[in-house]
Structure 1
Amino acid sequence: MNASISFTSQFILDKAHFNECFSESMPQERSLNVFFKSGVLMAFGLIILLFTPVNAYAGWFVVALGILEALSIHYKQPWWVLRQMLSKASGSEVTLTIDEKGVLSDSFYNKSRILWENMSSIQETSLGYILNFTVENKNNKGYLSKSYLSTDAQSYIKQKMNTLNVT
């Protein structure tokens, strides 16, 4: 009789975890192309201010939108982490179970399962694994940190990664 494969670990949803999730799964591009939209908004606002008879408030409003857009790009990670820290799930303990069916995440506030059959690919990063999966025709991402996975669990994920990424 085959023994079922199951790996279980627990971790806390804290600031360090959220920072790792964002930095590993959301690559940040810091080129000038990213700031193009904010530059266009600021230039358009200045054109309104200097060369049109439109009320100055409209021009300053468009300039302020451009500045706000640039700040939102620059502070994207701290803003995302702050929103996660303010959520009711912050600080709660999560039980993670990896088995033949998929990845089960269970906490007081949320219980979710990502099935292996719904995963399109798994990418390994220096600190964890990014799970790309589809639920109800929507592409989603999940992140698993290596810090709370045993070496056996990591080997099992790599085995699944090889089978998913080959097909």
Structure 2
Amino acid sequence: MYKHEFTLDKPYYQECFDESEKFGKANKPKYALVGFLTLLGLVSIYGLENGYLGNFLIILAVIECVSYYYRRPWWVARQMISRASGSKVTVEIDEDKIKAANPYKSFVFNWQDITKVIKTDKGLLIYSLRGAQYLSLSALDDETVKFILAQKKSH
């Protein structure tokens, strides 16, 4: 059984976002949506001569660009204002499961429920039937990482 502790702080949240984003659905801007909204806006302004609708659609395209550009600081800020921010997380790993708990939330992934484990440069992304979790390599030793990867291969 392996037991480790880490703190949910800003650097951890930033690392979590950076490592998880590579495998997420929103890792590329929505060029088609921005182009479509801009085109509709221009058609509304010049074709339909409806400046209000056209300006509204173009502003929506700009908001989409801004939301993509600021997605990391926005996500980190939301995590920092959560009540779990700053709390200690205890991770316990054994032959049956991975369990992580802090005073506000906990999760348990049984090995048979884990669908895949991806080792990134700085951590492990653990996918299960109930969602995904990120564990930083700074919170785990080499022996624990090898155990997790071996457990996943055996199930």
TM-score above 0.5: yes
1:121-140 superposed matches below 5 A: 121-135=116-130, 140=131
Counterpart in the other structure of 2:59: 64
What's the offset of the Cα at 1:161? 3.1
| Unaligned stretches of 5+ residues in structure 1 | 1-5
Give per-residue Cα distances to partners, 1:59-100, cap 9 Å, x unaligned: 111111111111112222121111111111111111111112
In structure 2, what is the equivalent of residue 80 of structure 1? Answer: 75
Contact 2:9/2:86 (<8 A) preserved:
yes
1:19 alignment partner, one of 14, 19, 26? 14
Secondary structure of 1:8's counterpart equals strand
Residue 8 of structure 1: how far off its partner (Å): 0.8
Deviation at 1:29, TM superposition (A): 4.1
Shift in Å, 1:162: 2.5
CA distance in 1 between partners of 2:2 and 2:43 (Å): 60
Are 1:153 and 2:148 an aligned pair? Answer: no
How many pairs does the alignment contain? 152
1:41 aligns with 2:37: yes
Q: Which moved more, 1:90-99 or 1:33-42?
A: 33-42
- Find the aligned partners of 2:152 and 2:126 in 1 and give their Cα distance: 9
Q: Distance in 2 between matches of 1:148 and 1:154?
A: 10
Runs of 4+ residues deviating >3 angstroms: none
Identity %: 31
Give the alignment's Cα RMSD to 1 decimal: 1.6
- 1:3 counterpart residue number: none
Residue equivalent to 1:116: 111
Q: Does 2:86 correspond to 1:53?
A: no
Report the AA paired with residue 20 of structure 1: E
SS at match of 2:129: strand
Contact 1:123 1:161 in 2 (8 A): no
| Alignment partner of 1:142 is 2:120 | no
Return the alpha-carbon distance in structure 2 between the equivalents of residues 86 and 42 of structure 1: 34
Report if aligned partners of 2:4, 2:140 keep a CA contact under 8 Å in 1.
Answer: yes
- Give the CA deviation at 1:146: 0.6
Contact 2:33-2:61 at 8 Å conserved across structures: yes
Contact 2:5 2:91 in 1 (8 A): yes
> Which residue identity does 1:42 align to in structure 2?
T
Unaligned runs of 5+ in 2: none
Query: What TM-score does the superposition give when structure 1 sets the normalisation length?
Result: 0.84
Q: Distance in 1 between matches of 2:64 and 2:119?
A: 31
